[in-house]
Amino acid sequence: MPDLKKYARQTQNRLLMGLLILSFTMGIALIYWFYGYQAALFGLFCLGAILIPLLLTVLILHLIERGLHHE
């Protein structure tokens, strides 16, 4: 019998990665097209700045989840 929780977690991770990739590629391309090179660089900087707390939150939650499973 397949593990549905693992499948759901894997699907959610893939959807999140797709969203991030789409945001970075299409978002920066649209900023470049409408506003130019410098605005696209600033948009890339802003997306990177948003990504740092997001990754820290995911890391902390992952560590908490691993700690709960070891008890």
Query: Counting beta carbons within 10 angstroms of the beta carbon of residue 31, is it exposed (0 to 12), middle (13 to 18) or buried (19 or more)?
Result: buried
For residues 31 and 51, which has the higher predicted lDDT (pLDDT)?
31
Q: Which two tokens stand for residue 70?
A: 């070891």
Neighbours of 43 (CB within 10 A): 19
pTM over 0.85: no
* Domain range list for the chain: 4-69
The segment with the largest mean pLDDT, out of 8-12, 23-27, 35-39, 58-62, is 35-39
